[in-house]
Amino acid sequence: MAPALEVKELAKVIGEKIIVDRISFSVDEGETFGFLGANGSGKTTTFNMLSGLLKPSSGEATIFGRKVKDARRDVGFVTQQDSFYETLTVKENLEFFASQYGIGRAKQQEIVKKIISQIKLTSKANALASKLSGGMKKRLNMGCSLVHEPKIIFLDEPTVGLDPVVRKDIWKLIKELQSEKKTIIITSHYMEEIEYLCSKVAIMFAGRIVASGTPEQLKKKYKLKQMEDVFAHLVKPAR
């Protein structure tokens, strides 16, 4: 069986600057895989290539054995920026995105009802998106990427800018997706988030994967007690 995601020598060069430097890794179906890195490490550019939003300079990626451009129906991509329409209600937004995937009206109603419940916005179903709180908007943003029932979900900094209470609400939603055996890829710079949610992690620095494995494997390898210490050890700035 092909991995859910397989990446071989993937690279992105802009001008003379190497943004992503020939990275390789694979993610098994049903696994939650985390990219940990500071801003500018290349993790968001990697995500954009894997989602089909950005063309690689070289290398290749396959999703369930197919090229990225041929597997978009299986991919849900949640960006840092809100991707819904402020002037539509929660329900209208979900219905619109479902229609864009050619989902029929009857099936739409079934899926939209399920997603609204899953993102805990039942009481806000008919509220304008513009009137939602920051945490509710994050949940709606995720919901819009789930209406076509993707097999693999990319979450780019899913809790950036959120307070700790709202962040944990998003974690609960991600845990629910894990219980559905979804394959999930997360970028983050929150150590606690990666360690809590991810079965494996890749640490990125200057466009390269400098270490990968389970959090416990990495802590044991570098003889450190905290992932924060592992990260600091691996991404020391050049002097």
Question: From CA 78, how far away is CA 145, in angstroms rounded?
Answer: 6
Token duo for residue 76: 């849900």
* 3-class state of residue 137 by DSSP: helix
Q: Which residue has the tokens 């360690």?
A: 195
38 phi-psi bin (left φ>0, alpha ψ -120 to 50, beta other): beta
pTM: 0.91
Q: Which residue has the tokens 């999703």?
A: 63
Domain 5-83+149-234, CATH: 3.40.50.300
Per-residue pLDDT band at 17 (split at 50, 70, 90): very high
Q: Is the pLDDT of residue 237 over 60?
A: no
> What's the pLDDT score for residue 238?
46
Burial grade of 155 (CB within 10 A; 0-12, 13-18, 19 or more): buried
Every domain of the chain and the residues it spans: 5-83+149-234, 84-144
Per-residue pLDDT band at 160 (split at 50, 70, 90): confident
> What's the pLDDT score for residue 105?
87
> What's the pLDDT score for residue 161?
84
Question: From CA 141, how far away is CA 67, in angstroms rounded?
Answer: 26
> What's the pLDDT score for residue 1?
61
- Dihedral of CA atoms 191, 193, 197, 198 in degrees, nearest 10, equals -30
Q: Name residue 104's amino acid.
A: G
Q: Could you tell me which of 43, 105, 47 has the C-alpha nearest to residue 76?
A: 47
Residues facing 6 on adjacent strands = 26, 62
Question: From CA 194, how far away is CA 201, in angstroms rounded?
Answer: 7
> What's the pLDDT score for residue 117?
95
pLDDT tens readout for residues 201-235: 999 999 999 999 999 999 999 998 888 889 888 88
Residue 48 phi, psi (nearest 5) = -65, -35
Question: From CA 66, how far away is CA 126, in angstroms rounded?
Answer: 38
In the chain, what is the greatest distance between 2 CA atoms, to the nearest angstrom? 61
Which residues fall within 8 angstroms of residue 47, CB to CB, at 6 or more apart? 35, 77, 154, 156, 185, 187
Question: From CA 43, how far away is CA 27, in angstroms rounded?
Answer: 15
